[in-house]
Amino acid sequence: MTQSPARRPLKVLLAAPRGFCAGVDRAIQIVERAIEKYGAPVYVRHEIVHNRHVVERLRNLGAVFVEELHECPDDRPVVFSAHGVPKSVPAEASRREMIYLDATCPLVSKVHVEAQRHYDAGKEIVLIGHAGHPEVVGTMGQLPEGAVTLIETVEDAQVYQPRDPSRVAFATQTTLSVDDTAEIVATLRARFPDMAAPHKEDICYATTNRQEAVKAVAEKADLLLVIGSANSSNSVRLAEVGRRAGCPAHLIDDAGALDLGWLDAVQVVGVTAGASAPEDLVQGVIDRMAERFAVTVEVAEAARETVSFKLPRALAETA
């Protein structure tokens, strides 16, 4: 009987924090509790969070995902996604006397409040973010059309022309690259020294912490695996941060998307997960690597997170 060859050692550096943030956890719970309280179906405007596995699991529980409110019947509850919605959406839901639950992340809501405050103070508002992303659509939709100018790049910042250079304020999408955003803000600030800033950083704690953890891992890893869906802004940014730090990176949905051939010349592989990716997907990727390699796991902790957000009062009693 021939013995199978010994498996080659592979060290996994597991970034911490990774995976679900408080806003994602709250949004998922809102859908789950709504189904418990009202029964299925519960409608959800846009994917509750940008992760295929989360959406599929909730769909199996009785969630129906739609893109616009007109696709929802008047007599069933609707949940607004964690990314936030324009003001016109809850206004229309109220007009139709619908039951609606707002799962907007409180840190996105903070950006909405600040944008309104700057607008009320007569400022011209610049929003740094990605065109078409639902969070950007929701934030721009808090104010009248034309009140917010979207800036995506340093080049945009260089050519932006406000009506009054002394009355500019900026806000940002919560899931951006910290380094890229700092470069854009520096460009704007050089042109508009009086530009008003958020009271507190708009890029959320979870985005910042996960990017810092990736930088720490990328210094020691030969390859980085980021678990998350391709439409997840924060997951895409993690892969970009890894590459910028000099570490090749792959964004994968799950273990089924992992090509073990990527690891043939790798001694140390970094693993992280976007803020909307469940932890069981991380374990699945590690288990898949263990089929071929003698895997050892080391946690690289950059920060500890203790943030949690309350559920809406209408659902609190079902928690």
Length reported for the chain: 319
Dihedral, CA of residue 204, residue 206, residue 212 and residue 217, to nearest 10: -160
Residues with active-site annotation:
135
Answer yes or no: are the C-beta atoms of 149 and 125 closer than 8 Å. yes
Q: Tell me 282's DSSP state.
A: H
Predicted pLDDT of residue 317: 67
Residues 6+ apart with CB under 8 A from 33: 311, 315, 318, 319
Global pTM? 0.93
Strand order in the sheet with 100-102: 63-66, 42-45, 78-80, 100-102
Query: What are the structure tokens assigned to 7, written together?
Result: 């498996």
Classified as helix, coil or strand, 143 is coil
Secondary-structure class of domain 22-105 per CATH: alpha beta
Predicted pLDDT of residue 314: 86
CATH 3.40.1010.20 fits 107-191, yes or no: yes
Q: Residues spanned by CATH 3.40.1010.20 within the chain?
A: 9-20+205-301, 107-191
Which CATH code for domain 9-20+205-301? 3.40.1010.20
Q: One digit per residue, pLDDT tens: the chain, 319 residues?
A: 444 567 999 999 999 999 999 999 999 999 999 999 999 999 999 999 999 999 999 999 999 999 999 999 999 999 999 999 999 999 999 999 999 999 999 999 999 999 999 999 999 999 999 999 999 999 999 999 999 999 999 999 999 999 999 999 999 999 999 999 999 999 999 999 999 999 888 999 999 999 999 999 999 999 999 999 999 999 999 999 999 999 999 999 999 999 999 999 999 999 999 999 999 999 999 999 999 999 999 999 999 999 999 999 888 765 4
Strand partners, 64: 43
Query: What are the structure tokens assigned to 76, written together?
Result: 């069933």
CB neighbours of residue 299 within 10 Å = 11
The H-or-E segment that residue 283 falls in is: helix 279-290
Nearest alpha carbon to residue 226 among 203, 267, 266, 258: 258
